Amino acid sequence: MSPERLLVISDVLAKSVVLAHDERRVAEVFEVIEPFARELATRGKARLNRTGILRLIGNALLVQHRVSGRVAITEKPDALWDRPDLERLYARLEDEYELQERVDTLNRKLAVISETATTLADIIDTQRSLRLELIIVALIALEIVITFYQILTSRAGH
Question: Per residue in 96-105, pLDDT tens?
Answer: 999 999 988 9
Q: What are phi and psi of 22, to 5 degrees?
A: -65, -35
In CATH, the number for domain 3-127 is 1.20.58
- In this prediction, residue 68 has a pLDDT band, given cuts at 50, 70 and 90, of low
DSSP 85: G
Averaged pLDDT for residues 33-43: 82
Q: What are phi and psi of 49, to 5 degrees?
A: -110, 115
Looking at residue 48, its pLDDT comes to: 63
Averaged pLDDT for residues 90-112: 91
Q: What is the mean pLDDT of the chain?
A: 85
Averaged pLDDT for residues 61-68: 69
Q: Could you give the residue ranges of the DSSP H alpha helices within 66-98?
A: 79-82, 87-96
